[in-house]
Amino acid sequence: MQNLEEVQRAADALRSLLGKQADFSTAEEGGPGHHAPVGIVLGTGLSSLADMLRNRVSVPYGEIPGFPASGVESHAGVFVWGRAPCGDGGGRSVLVQQGRCHLYEGRSPADVCMGVRVLAAMGVKTLVLTNAAGALNPLFDVESIMCMTDIINHTGVSPLTGDNCPAWGPRFTDMSAPLDARLRRLALETATELGLRLERGVYIGVHGPELETPAETRMYRQWGADAVGMSSVLEIIAARHLGMAVLGLSCLTNKNLPDCMAPATLEQICAAAQKTGENLARLLCALVTKL
Ligand code: HPA
């Protein structure tokens, strides 16, 4: 579903709650020296980046009319505006959605995509989506980061179902390049500069909340997926509909091998996300100053 009025109301509220403190209005006007902020969605246990921002201003989702709460305890549920620190003391303007809601909480695709649509209404054109995911590629290590090269939407739903909103995008959104090649190149270059290993692969988004069986794991691998998770694919579709350039980064928190499945717990997944999140924050800070 495409809920233009609700999204506009939420974006207006967020803009006024961020207020002048965030010098967001100047960023949005796009005057000389001002760039539209980079939008970043932080997933499970990946809040380190928001803590690193300078001149931070936060707005809890509860203060934004109609904005869905983030249902998972490990997700903060707050928008944070700030500047990513960089050498010259300036810093790139960043608008972070810290915490998201999911289909498995019983939320609709419109709820799941509301954050991305609000970011677009705030002037964001470049979007970085992060998540925690299980590795399917046997060559990928736990606690490493994977840059998404492509996606498989296996949730069974789309955020573009129903009447199309032409102000947002076309009826039939092109998905021949869901993730932006230039952003991916910059991410790989930045990771190399920082001495971080960045894997590349296909992310499959599933409905959840149950984790995968061995047979499902084998099937997803045979379909060509390298990592599996319960978020991001609908947000990528909504972002592409809106014409945003998207980078997707997955923190690999556990490994799913069909012939030797090990039980995975939320505690393990969160602990691994926390560890990987520190490298992810370093990567994002260095990357956004190049955008
Ligand atoms: N499967 C689905 N979602 C996940 C996983 C997983 O193994 N790990 C983290 N999120």
Q: Cβ(247)–Cβ(283) under 8 Å?
A: no
Q: Which of 10-14, 32-36, 117-121, 222-226 has the lowest mean pLDDT?
A: 32-36
222 phi and psi, to 5 degrees? -65, -25
pLDDT tops 70 at residue 34? no
pLDDT grade for 261, boundaries at 50, 70 and 90: confident
pLDDT grade for 28, boundaries at 50, 70 and 90: very low
Q: Ligand 1, atom 10: nearest CA belongs to which residue?
A: 133
pLDDT at 87: 61
pLDDT tops 90 at residue 265? no
pLDDT tops 80 at residue 90? no
pLDDT grade for 239, boundaries at 50, 70 and 90: very high
pLDDT at 71: 72
**Per residue in 194-224, is it b (16+ CB within 10 Å) or e — as a string?**
eebebbebbbbbbebeebbeeebbbebbeee
pLDDT at 262: 83
pLDDT tops 70 at residue 52? yes
How many Å apart are CA 62 and CA 161, to the nearest integer? 27
**Rounded mean pLDDT, 158-175:** 96
106 conformational bin, left if phi > 0, alpha if psi -120 to 50, beta if neither: left
Pocket probe mutation, ligand 1, options 218, 256, 274, 276, max atoms within 8 Å of Cβ: 256
Domains of the chain: 4-288 (3.40.50.1580)
Residue % of the chain over a pLDDT of 90: 75
**Rounded mean pLDDT, 142-169:** 97
**Rounded mean pLDDT, 112-121:** 97
Question: For residues 84 and 71, which has the higher predicted lDDT (pLDDT)?
Answer: 84
Q: Which of 16-20, 85-89, 152-156, 214-218 has the lowest mean pLDDT?
A: 85-89
pTM: 0.94
Pocket probe mutation, ligand 1, options 210, 269, 270, max atoms within 8 Å of Cβ: 269
pLDDT at 72: 65
| Residue matched to tokens 């010259």 | 88
**Rounded mean pLDDT, 84-98:** 82
For the segment 123-136, what is each residue's pLDDT rounded down to a tens digit? 999 999 999 999 99
Kindly give the distance from the C-alpha atom of residue 222 to the centroid of ligand 1, in angstroms, as a whole number. Answer: 17
Of the spans 16-30, 41-55, 227-241, which averages the highest pLDDT?
227-241
How many Å apart are CA 227 and CA 134, to the nearest integer? 5
Q: Which residue ranges have their beta carbon within 6 Å of ligand 1?
A: 132-134, 211-212, 228-230, 253-254, 256, 264, 269
- The residue type found at 237 is I
For the segment 177-210, what is each residue's pLDDT rounded down to a tens digit? 999 999 999 999 999 999 999 999 999 999 999 9
CB count within 10 Å of CB 156 equals 8
pLDDT at 20: 64
Q: Ligand 1, atom 3: nearest CA belongs to which residue?
A: 229
pLDDT tops 80 at residue 285? yes
Kindly give the distance from the C-alpha atom of residue 191 to the centroid of ligand 1, in angstroms, as a whole number. Answer: 23
